[in-house]
A and B are shown apart, each in its own frame.
Chain A
Amino acid sequence: MNRLLNRVPFVDDAVHWGQEDYWATPAESIGSNGADCEDFSIAKYFLLKELGVPIARLRLTYVKSLKLNQPHMVLAYYASPNAEPLVLDNLEDLVRPASQRRDLVPVYSFNDEEVWVEMRGRAGSPQQLRNWRALMERLDWERRT
């Protein structure tokens, strides 16, 4: 799956979407045949979610790539809360445990569950993780059309 999605060519957001930072839906990434690190991670996240993987095991993770010396995003898979995660990266087709990815320094992670925090019965505010919010709206739109 990792390898399959990694075939989509890497295109920088600024080139691809004319924006500094644009989080594309899986359909946009595949349809436009171009993606950057967030787009790959997002596409993988939703694909696995569709395949029935509980989202509690998935985390979109901000990392720093020591190799490229720049911010990067990968998808981490935790078999259990205390387990060592597997890393799905668009730079490497091979899915390897985190301990074997010394080139990545994890910084911050999130998933649906966290973004959609329970707020005394109310849905999360649009202010939270603006990019994620926009993404979810587009996804919702795609689903309906």
Chain B
Amino acid sequence: MTVGRLLAVAISATFLLALVGVEAIILRSAQGHLQRQLESLSQDAATSLGLSLGVLLRGGDPALAETVINPAFDRGHYERIEYVSASGERIVSRQLRAREGNYPEWFARALHLHAPTAESFVSAGWQQAGRVRVTVHPRFAYEQLWGTARDTVILLMLVYAAALLVLQLVLRSVLRPLKAVEQAAQAISARRFVTLGLRPRTRELARVVEAMNSLSLKVSEALDAEARRAERLQVAAYQDPVTGLPNALGFSARFETRYEGEDEAFGGVLALVDLADLGGINREIGSERCDDLLRTLLHEMDGTAVQAGGSAARWAGAVTMLALPQLRAGAAREALGTLRARIQALLGAAGLPGHARVYCGGAEAAGERPSLQGLVRGAQDALRKARETAQAVVVLEAEQAADAAPDDRPQVVRAALAERRLRLVGQAAYRMSDHRALHTEVLVRLDDAAGQEMNAARFMPFVIAQGLAEELDRAVIDKVLREAPRGEERISVNVSARSTEQPAFIAWLAQQLARDRALAARLAFEIPEHGVVRNVAAVADFAEAVSRAGAAFAIDHFGVHRDCLALLQRLHPAYIKLAGAKLRRIVTDAGAHYFAESLVRTARQLDIPVFAHHVEDEATFQAIASIGLSGYQGTLGGGPVPWPGR
């Protein structure tokens, strides 16, 4: 019950009591007054009739009596007027026919008025001439009483209506701040930290607003502090303090995350550059100048890597790692040669030509999904070979067999998508505490013309390259919406970040979801973190549209990008799934473990459950259980199975 309604009921009850009380008092006093009026009226009439009859009857004509009585009777106030002679004979008797008064019958019964009768002697001189008897009709009194009752009820009802109206107006103005406070509380629970600008005149409400503002500020400060701490840890764990470039851990995490997803496969060269005499340089010019020099050299190397669509990282001590995804072996050899010459020139310019021993070793990616470890091993082999053979640059080529056949996969994927040879499989995510299935992530497979199944890792790079991501997403979502079984099962669908950049796609999705709100409420759309950071604004629009339609938005492969915690506050995902690369390291690396713990704590403060991918063994499960994750997914719980099931 609202305060308004409560007050209205209280006012109504008070008014009803007042109405009954006031009516009772008014009517009882009016009733008594009218009763006395009636009595005196009857007596006065009897007396004056008696007097006038006495004067007239002295002539001895009883017929005159009627002439005197008629005018009085016809005034209508009397029920009966009788004139009885001295011997008891009724000479004149006039009686009013029963007539309806202008008042309801029940009212007359409830407030009874006596019809008084008065008598007066009639004397003709000394002679007794009988008596006159007058009974007054109470009709006029009832009419007056009824009018009074009706008027007071109408007046009180008008006052009542006015009171209710005033109450509503006053309440609305008094309670307006309360509404704002409620909205602010909702905003805070939705992790938007707002400050109320209004100052209510009611002192109690002013205090509530103040408390609300201070709460909002405190919570937002606490969250900020936690996020900053996590960010510092993230930086410390993944960054080289001297050059600001990623360290080996940071490089691996980025590399694995970038290529573990379905968007891209690494098809270039991974190279190591060794400044062999860094120790000597350090001794010669001191560590401070040496660090300056290192910064210059490594940014030079980073420039080369970026040109090739990749990045550089300080791998260990004097060794720098370069990812050159767009270069094949020959081009890489050329680029590394140029880079080496540039480094030597820089060292020469720094007055250190004697220390300009630089070796480069690279390995070309082979196969569809080259592993980072394999590539690193290859690059290390090449570097060793470069040192041993005093060959400055060694790039090991991938075996020719891998891409001997002309690559027709782009056409195969295009055809499969065009002909909708899609198949869906589902992999459940389970709750940590009781291993209950929380939702099913729907994955997609394409069949080639021969019916051979391709998983996402195989076809996704071609889908992206040919700009078919949106088409694929539409096809998958359409299929999921059509085939989703009824029931409670929650379903999550992967969406490419590129699709969210298309307003038409967002509009189409909103329209699809609007057709079945119940199903929409069971759906979540996952976008990988590296896709999200590419265009946060577009993803924010997407997230908003999706949640307006009743579905949820989630971030997959989370925890690699350095601003990832800011994404939680900005996008409020329904849940996040940790990147697999991250997860594997939690088991072994204390820093990664600590960072993950901090991340989970931040997420929990924002009410965002954290899931883990690729949980394949008990050791990993124990590790993630210890940092408080909400759920997991992986072969430990069960691999992908055809979806929907029966």
Taking a contact as CB atoms under 8 Å apart, the answer to whether B126 and A98 are in contact is yes
Q: Which of B14-38 contact A (CB under 8 A)?
A: 36
Taking a contact as CB atoms under 8 Å apart, the answer to whether A82 and B39 are in contact is no
**A118→B116 CA distance, assembly (Å):** 9
Taking a contact as CB atoms under 8 Å apart, the answer to whether A128 and B43 are in contact is yes
Check B114 for interface membership: any CB of A closer than 8 A: yes
Taking a contact as CB atoms under 8 Å apart, the answer to whether A84 and B117 are in contact is no
Known contacts A98-B126, A128-B39; is-contact A119 B120 (Cβ 8 Å): no
Please give the distance in Å from A111's CB to the nearest CB on chain B: 8
Taking a contact as CB atoms under 8 Å apart, the answer to whether B117 and A117 are in contact is yes
Taking a contact as CB atoms under 8 Å apart, the answer to whether A119 and B39 are in contact is yes
Taking a contact as CB atoms under 8 Å apart, the answer to whether B39 and A108 are in contact is no
- Residues from chain A with Cβ under 8 Å of B50 in the complex: 108
Q: Which of A82-121 contact B (CB under 8 A)?
A: 82, 84-85, 98-99, 106-111, 114, 117-120
From B43, B86, B120, A127 is in contact (CB under 8 Å) with: B43
Taking a contact as CB atoms under 8 Å apart, the answer to whether B128 and A106 are in contact is no
Known contacts A119-B114, A125-B39, A128-B39; is-contact A82 B127 (Cβ 8 Å): yes
**A85→B119 CA distance, assembly (Å):** 21
Q: Which of B54-96 contact A (CB under 8 A)?
A: 54, 86-87
Check B499 for interface membership: any CB of A closer than 8 A: no
**A108→B46 CA distance, assembly (Å):** 12
Q: Max chain B CB contacts within 10 Å: which of A99, A106, A117?
A: A117
Taking a contact as CB atoms under 8 Å apart, the answer to whether B120 and A114 are in contact is yes
Taking a contact as CB atoms under 8 Å apart, the answer to whether B40 and A125 are in contact is yes
Residue on A with the closest CB to B43? A128
User: Digit string of B104-133 for contact with A (CB within 8 Å is 1, else 0)?
Assistant: 000000000011111111010111100101
- Residues from chain A with Cβ under 8 Å of B480 in the complex: none
Residue on A with the closest CB to B88? A81
From A82, A108, A122, B128 is in contact (CB under 8 Å) with: A82
Q: What is the count of residue pairs linking A and B with beta-carbon distances less than 8 angstroms?
A: 67
Check A78 for interface membership: any CB of B closer than 8 A: yes
**A119→B40 CA distance, assembly (Å):** 12
**A127→B34 CA distance, assembly (Å):** 13
**A81→B133 CA distance, assembly (Å):** 18
- Residues from chain B with Cβ under 8 Å of A111 in the complex: 121
- Residues from chain A with Cβ under 8 Å of B117 in the complex: 117-120
* Interface residues of A, count at CB 8 A: 25
Taking a contact as CB atoms under 8 Å apart, the answer to whether B131 and A114 are in contact is yes
Check B51 for interface membership: any CB of A closer than 8 A: yes
Please give the distance in Å from B84's CB to the nearest CB on chain A: 11
**A84→B54 CA distance, assembly (Å):** 16
**A114→B50 CA distance, assembly (Å):** 12
User: Digit string of B513-536 for contact with A (CB within 8 Å is 1, else 0)?
Assistant: 000000000000000000000000
Check A59 for interface membership: any CB of B closer than 8 A: yes
Residue on A with the closest CB to B46? A117
- Residues from chain B with Cβ under 8 Å of A119 in the complex: 39, 114, 116-118
Residue on B with the closest CB to A82? B86
Taking a contact as CB atoms under 8 Å apart, the answer to whether B39 and A127 are in contact is yes
Taking a contact as CB atoms under 8 Å apart, the answer to whether A107 and B51 are in contact is yes
Taking a contact as CB atoms under 8 Å apart, the answer to whether B121 and A109 are in contact is yes
Known contacts A125-B40, A128-B39; is-contact A117 B123 (Cβ 8 Å): no
**A82→B86 CA distance, assembly (Å):** 7
- Residues from chain B with Cβ under 8 Å of A117 in the complex: 117-119, 133
Please give the distance in Å from A65's CB to the nearest CB on chain B: 14
Taking a contact as CB atoms under 8 Å apart, the answer to whether A81 and B39 are in contact is no
**A125→B38 CA distance, assembly (Å):** 10
**A82→B87 CA distance, assembly (Å):** 8
Taking a contact as CB atoms under 8 Å apart, the answer to whether B36 and A59 are in contact is no
**A47→B580 CA distance, assembly (Å):** 130
- Residues from chain A with Cβ under 8 Å of B54 in the complex: 107-108
Check A76 for interface membership: any CB of B closer than 8 A: yes
Q: Max chain A CB contacts within 10 Å: which of B36, B86, B125?
A: B125
Q: Max chain A CB contacts within 10 Å: which of B86, B115, B116?
A: B116
Taking a contact as CB atoms under 8 Å apart, the answer to whether A120 and B114 are in contact is yes
**A107→B123 CA distance, assembly (Å):** 8
Please give the distance in Å from B375's CB to the nearest CB on chain A: 122
Residue on A with the closest CB to B55? A107
Q: Which of B279-327 contact A (CB under 8 A)?
A: none
Taking a contact as CB atoms under 8 Å apart, the answer to whether B120 and A78 are in contact is no
Taking a contact as CB atoms under 8 Å apart, the answer to whether A110 and B121 are in contact is yes
**A61→B122 CA distance, assembly (Å):** 11
Taking a contact as CB atoms under 8 Å apart, the answer to whether A78 and B40 are in contact is no
Residue on B with the closest CB to A83? B128
Taking a contact as CB atoms under 8 Å apart, the answer to whether A81 and B87 are in contact is yes
Residue on B with the closest CB to A87? B126
- Residues from chain A with Cβ under 8 Å of B47 in the complex: 108
**A119→B50 CA distance, assembly (Å):** 18
Known contacts A109-B121, A117-B118, A118-B117; is-contact A78 B128 (Cβ 8 Å): yes
Residue on A with the closest CB to B124? A106
Taking a contact as CB atoms under 8 Å apart, the answer to whether B39 and A106 are in contact is no
**A98→B127 CA distance, assembly (Å):** 9
Taking a contact as CB atoms under 8 Å apart, the answer to whether B123 and A109 are in contact is yes
From A61, A114, A122, B114 is in contact (CB under 8 Å) with: A122
Please give the distance in Å from A109's CB to the nearest CB on chain B: 5
**A124→B39 CA distance, assembly (Å):** 9
**A109→B47 CA distance, assembly (Å):** 10
**A111→B47 CA distance, assembly (Å):** 13
**A52→B501 CA distance, assembly (Å):** 125
Residue on B with the closest CB to A63? B126
Residue on A with the closest CB to B47? A108
- Residues from chain B with Cβ under 8 Å of A125 in the complex: 36, 39-40, 43, 116
- Residues from chain A with Cβ under 8 Å of B51 in the complex: 107-108
**A122→B113 CA distance, assembly (Å):** 12
Taking a contact as CB atoms under 8 Å apart, the answer to whether B127 and A128 are in contact is no
- Residues from chain A with Cβ under 8 Å of B87 in the complex: 81-82
Taking a contact as CB atoms under 8 Å apart, the answer to whether A59 and B116 are in contact is no
- Residues from chain A with Cβ under 8 Å of B131 in the complex: 114
Taking a contact as CB atoms under 8 Å apart, the answer to whether B121 and A114 are in contact is yes
Please give the distance in Å from B113's CB to the nearest CB on chain A: 11
Residue on A with the closest CB to B35? A125
Known contacts A114-B131, A120-B115; is-contact A85 B120 (Cβ 8 Å): no
Taking a contact as CB atoms under 8 Å apart, the answer to whether B128 and A81 are in contact is yes
Taking a contact as CB atoms under 8 Å apart, the answer to whether B126 and A108 are in contact is no
Taking a contact as CB atoms under 8 Å apart, the answer to whether B119 and A114 are in contact is yes
Residue on A with the closest CB to B39? A125
User: Digit string of A6-45 for contact with B (CB within 8 Å is 1, else 0)?
Assistant: 0000000000000000000000000000000000000000
**A125→B244 CA distance, assembly (Å):** 114
Residue on B with the closest CB to A122? B114
Query: Can you report 8 A-B residue pairs in the complex whose CB atoms are below 8 A from each other?
Result: A81-B128, A109-B121, A114-B119, A117-B117, A119-B116, A119-B117, A127-B40, A128-B43
- Known A59-B128, A119-B118, A127-B39; further 14 A-B contacts with Cβ < 8 A: A76-B126, A81-B87, A84-B126, A85-B126, A99-B126, A106-B126, A108-B54, A108-B123, A119-B114, A120-B115, A127-B36, A128-B40, A128-B43, A128-B118
Q: Which 4 A-B pairs have the closest CB atoms?
A: A98-B126, A81-B86, A125-B39, A117-B119
